[in-house]
Amino acid sequence: MLLHIRSIAALFMLPATVGSFALGAEDQRPNVVLILCDDLGAHDLRCTGSAVIQTPNIDRLRERGMLFTQAYASACVCAPSRCALLTGRSLAHAQIRDNMEVANLADGTFGGQRSIAAGTNTLGRVLQRAGYATACFGKWGLGGPGENTGHPLEQGFDRFYGFLCQRNAHNHYAAYVESDRGKVLLAGNDRGVTGERFVPDLCADEAVRWIQAKAPLGAPFFVYFATNLPHLALQAPATAVEQYAFTETAYDGKKYYLPCEKPHATYAAMVSKIDEAVGRLVQAVTDAGELDKTIFLFTSDNGAPWDIGGFDPKFFGSNSGLRGFKGSLWEGGIRVPLIASWSGHVPAASKCDMPVVGYDLFPTVLAMTGTASDAPLDGANLARVMLGEAGGESIAVRAPIVWENPAGVGQQAVRDGRWKLVRTKAKSREEAKFELFDLAVDPAESRDVAGEHAVEVSRLLQVMRARTLSPVEGWNYADIAVPH
């Protein structure tokens, strides 16, 4: 089923009613389960085109809801994507615009990443103030254990279990995790190739227990389930790996991360473990009698990586037909799956072909839960799209989507409708290069048409200029010189 937009204004309105749900009705406010994967490629799910990975639970979520066929992450790497998702700001305005590591603590505890500021209007904080029980499970990456302002418990979450630091999350048999403000040592784990406790499973265990405890209490709940799968290293329980039989060449560990005897089967197993966790979350909500009252959102923080750490993107077709990988603003670095499901509200087996982005989910959740906020937001409210009241063919009804990638020589990008402008070597006014692509006919970004469409280039340059300077100097760019 392909939905069509009935009016331009409808996309951005915060309506008095959304479908059959009356905004502001305390006893009808839906729960929200936001599932964020880590480095999951656009085509790594069976329902998005994978021919080799089995994802039955995610596929059922898609069958009950809407698939966005041109969905983007807010950034091309982890921390800024999470910041944008949880604050509703694009990287032209976000606090965190790249990964920035903090040194480990004296006791060897991983130090985390640059922290978001105290009092930030995160999605957790806004829903918490509106009476939601809130919890975060998995990978945080927006502040470490050495300070308080960036801790999830200081940013709107009642419960946290998982990894504060992204570096700790690079091993799925980590020696410890954080639980609220404490450190939990995991017996049998030493950050080796295998261990006794597969941490993504522990995060799912905690999320299920929390839902089971909170659902009977009557207040609506918000679960931010930020699994660290399928980010490298290639690791999964043997029982999950054994589900897949491929012709394999062992990975020796010389191209970063850990060695792996069966790299293809292990990566497939890691995606299947995400699928297993999704099934468990849906079942917990169902068992609590809350399925018809729960919005599920499923997406990824960026596109799949290149051939590093034993991962084989060509074998899996993770970014098939797309240019580039994680760490770039080409389509392969930012195109991701996005599924929205709400039984009885989101039309089953529907799809939307308009471009959408991770930072759209903040205003969308506010609209669908009837939650007010004065936080500045850059995203589009997709509530009417998701609920079948508007959506689909037109891509000319939203503000342009903006990305930045300050790593190295810098890259910026803007998409507006069919057009995408990419600025490379963006930290040098003299060497910066502009390329324009017509994604309607060239989704692979293979032909630069900037010389043929000067008006579009000029218009999108103005969007690129409308950014806020970051206090981190390395996250800024050279002035934009108009190309000739």
Q: pLDDT tens digit string along 316-354?
A: 999 999 999 999 999 999 999 999 999 999 999 999 999
For the chain, give the mean pLDDT.
Answer: 92
| pLDDT value of residue 148 | 77
Q: Looking at the structure, tell me whether residues 199 and 127 fall in a common domain.
A: yes
Task: Identify the residue with better confidence: 144 or 391.
Answer: 144
User: Quick check: 11 pLDDT over 80?
Assistant: no
Q: Looking at the structure, tell me whether residues 223 and 264 fall in a common domain.
A: yes
Residue 205: burial class (beta carbons within 10 Å; 0-12, 13-18, 19+): middle
- Contact assessment for residue 482 and residue 459, using Cβ atoms and an 8 Å cutoff: no
> For helices 78-87 and 361-369, what crossing angle results, to 10°?
30
Q: Looking at the structure, tell me whether residues 368 and 461 fall in a common domain.
A: no
User: Quick check: 70 pLDDT over 90?
Assistant: yes
| pLDDT value of residue 324 | 98
Q: Looking at the structure, tell me whether residues 282 and 324 fall in a common domain.
A: yes
**CATH at 442:** 3.30.1120.10
- Contact assessment for residue 233 and residue 170, using Cβ atoms and an 8 Å cutoff: yes
Hey, which of 106-110, 134-138, 430-434 has the most confident mean pLDDT?
Answer: 134-138
Q: Looking at the structure, tell me whether residues 382 and 470 fall in a common domain.
A: no
**Domain annotation covers residue 227:** yes
Last residue of a domain, one of 386, 418, 453: 386
Q: Looking at the structure, tell me whether residues 102 and 246 fall in a common domain.
A: yes
Total domains present in the chain: 2
| pLDDT value of residue 480 | 81
DSSP string covering 391-408? -SS--SSSPPEEEEE-ST
Q: Looking at the structure, tell me whether residues 346 and 414 fall in a common domain.
A: no
**Domain annotation covers residue 116:** yes
| pLDDT value of residue 483 | 61
Give the Å distances, CA to CA, from 115 to 25, 79, 118, 165, 361.
Answer: 35, 10, 9, 11, 21
Average pLDDT over residues 70-95: 98
Last residue of a domain, one of 357, 386, 415: 386
Average pLDDT over residues 437-461: 97
pLDDT tens digits, residue range 229-275?
A: 999 999 999 999 999 999 999 999 999 999 999 999 999 999 999 99
**Domain annotation covers residue 482:** no
**Domain annotation covers residue 182:** yes
| pLDDT cut 70: percent of the chain above it | 92
**Domain annotation covers residue 137:** yes
| pLDDT value of residue 208 | 98
Task: Identify the residue with better confidence: 136 or 482.
Answer: 136
CB crowding 78-89: b at 16 or more within 10 Å, else e: bbbbbbbbbbbb
- Contact assessment for residue 66 and residue 340, using Cβ atoms and an 8 Å cutoff: yes
**Domain annotation covers residue 401:** no
Helix (H) or strand (E) holding 299, with range, is strand 294-300
**Within a 10 A sphere around the Cβ of 459, how many other Cβ atoms?**
15
**CATH at 361:** 3.40.720.10
Cα–Cα distance, 222 to 44 (Å, whole number): 26
Last residue of a domain, one of 352, 386, 420: 386
Beta pairing class for 338-341 and 350-352: unpaired
Q: Looking at the structure, tell me whether residues 130 and 46 fall in a common domain.
A: yes
**What are all long-range contacts of 243-246, with beta carbons under 8 Å and residues at least 24 apart?**
243/54, 243/268, 243/269, 243/272, 244/52, 244/268, 244/269, 246/52
User: Quick check: 77 pLDDT over 70?
Assistant: yes
Strand ranges for 39-158 from DSSP E: 66-68, 71-72, 133-139
| pLDDT value of residue 479 | 87
Q: Looking at the structure, tell me whether residues 377 and 410 fall in a common domain.
A: no
| pLDDT value of residue 368 | 97
| pLDDT value of residue 6 | 29
- 23 pLDDT band, cuts 50/70/90, is very low
Boundaries of domain holding 454: 406-475
Cα–Cα distance, 99 to 166 (Å, whole number): 9
| pLDDT value of residue 340 | 98
| pLDDT value of residue 482 | 63
User: What is the token pair recorded at 96?
Assistant: 């965190």
* Residues present in the chain in total: 484
- 390 pLDDT band, cuts 50/70/90, is low
Q: Strand pairing partners for 422?
A: 413, 435
Average pLDDT over residues 46-51: 97
User: Quick check: 74 pLDDT over 60?
Assistant: yes
**Domain annotation covers residue 397:** no
**Domain annotation covers residue 255:** yes
Q: Looking at the structure, tell me whether residues 362 and 416 fall in a common domain.
A: no
Task: Identify the residue with better confidence: 203 or 391.
Answer: 203
Q: Looking at the structure, tell me whether residues 341 and 416 fall in a common domain.
A: no
Give the Å distances, CA to CA, from 118 to 111, 154, 156, 469.
Answer: 18, 7, 11, 19
Cα–Cα distance, 85 to 361 (Å, whole number): 7
Q: Looking at the structure, tell me whether residues 330 and 466 fall in a common domain.
A: no
pLDDT tens digits, residue range 155-206?
A: 999 999 999 999 999 999 999 999 999 999 999 999 999 999 999 999 999 9
